[in-house]
Amino acid sequence: MIKVTENLAVNLPDEGNWDIVIEPQANLLDIKLKDVWQYRDLLFLFVKRDITAQYKQTILGPLWHFIQPVFTTIVFVMVFGKIANIPTDGIEPVLFYMSGITIWNYFSSCLNSTSGTFVANAGIFGKVYFPRLVIPLSTMMSNMVKFGIQFFLLIVAIGYFGLTNGSFYFGFSWLLVPLLVIMMAAMGLGAGIIISSLTTKYRDFTVLIGFAVQLLMYATPVAYPLSYLKNESVINVVRYNPLTPIIEAFRFSLFNKGDFNGFQLLYSSIFIIVVLFIGLIIFSKVERTFMDTV
């Protein structure tokens, strides 16, 4: 049984063994992460739903996750490598661009998917109770499957060029990869739930988010190394982008080449923690009243 209590001067009977007690949140910090753990089975069901929905009524199914990074890499090699003649810090161009695309795709997928949490799931939220944070978390986890497929493709490419050129690198820095992926996931989740909270009142953010993510990619060293930049003001803009140290560290961990700075990675970690914390607070506040505005 479920017991719902409100801020009313009514004494509800205590009879019965209540399975769930739904109470109004007392303060902004009442995020109730414990409830998310209690609904972990529902979380995995949503993950399964998201993965199934991606492949349903498609001819190639999961192969689309291979096709997209391959064609994007080819375009980057032609445009940035051949035409613009941008160096790649001694890394094979195909591997340089593919590595940046792989980690960036995971961030952009998490951000774009979670940014529509309230609007896209208003029908479900208005009918049944469950911790609303389950939806963006399931989106983040389902996108991890897509990242895993593309990362596997990257490993295959690394192995191929390693055998061809004899320049394969494998060291302890590879252990840094899971941490960097988690940081990207947390950044996408934090920024996404902030935007999803704002879109309940300001639908313009839904239109702007796709355009903003594309612009952000060019302010992040996905298609170029940080060492390529010469203008000091441009370098500062890109360097203080919290995603820059993550992508540079991702390449460094795989190829032992590039610009790796531990202090900048610490800066990114602090930034992500702050964004995620603010996002959880705003999300927790909006979920109480969003049905009145969606």
Does residue 111 lie in a domain region?
yes
Nearest to 86 by CA among 249, 214, 217, 223: 223
Does residue 180 lie in a domain region?
yes
**Residue 34 confidence (pLDDT):** 74
- As given in the structure block, the two tokens for residue 102 are 């792989």
> pLDDT tens digits for 138-192?
888 888 888 998 999 999 999 888 888 776 677 777 889 999 999 999 999 999 8
State the Cα angle at 134 between 208 and 272, rounded to 5°: 55
**Residue 25 confidence (pLDDT):** 55
Does residue 64 lie in a domain region?
yes
**Residue 10 confidence (pLDDT):** 45
The amino acid sitting at 74 is I
Q: How far apart are CA 97 and CA 77, in angstroms?
A: 7
Does residue 3 lie in a domain region?
no
Domain count, the chain: 1
Angle, in degrees to the nearest 10, between helices 93-114 and 177-198: 40
What residues in the chain have per-residue pLDDT under 70?
Answer: 1-33, 54-62, 120, 122, 126, 167-168, 203-204, 288-294
Cβ-based neighbours of 5, under 8 Å, separated by 6 or more = 12, 21, 22, 23, 24
Q: How far apart are CA 197 and CA 195, in angstroms?
A: 5
Does residue 285 lie in a domain region?
yes
State the Cα angle at 137 between 205 and 203, rounded to 5°: 15
**Residue 8 confidence (pLDDT):** 42
SS3 168: coil
Does residue 46 lie in a domain region?
yes
Angle, in degrees to the nearest 10, between helices 134-165 and 40-55: 60
State the Cα angle at 166 between 161 and 171, rounded to 5°: 90
Does residue 20 lie in a domain region?
no
Does residue 217 lie in a domain region?
yes
Cβ-based neighbours of 56, under 8 Å, separated by 6 or more = none
User: Residue 22 phi/psi, 5° resolution?
Assistant: -100, 115
- As given in the structure block, the two tokens for residue 45 are 């069901």
Q: How far apart are CA 46 and CA 130, in angstroms?
A: 12
Any alpha helices (H) in 60-176, and if so which ranges?
63-76, 93-114, 117-120, 122-125, 134-165
Q: Which domain holds residue 40?
A: 27-292
What is this structure's pTM? 0.82
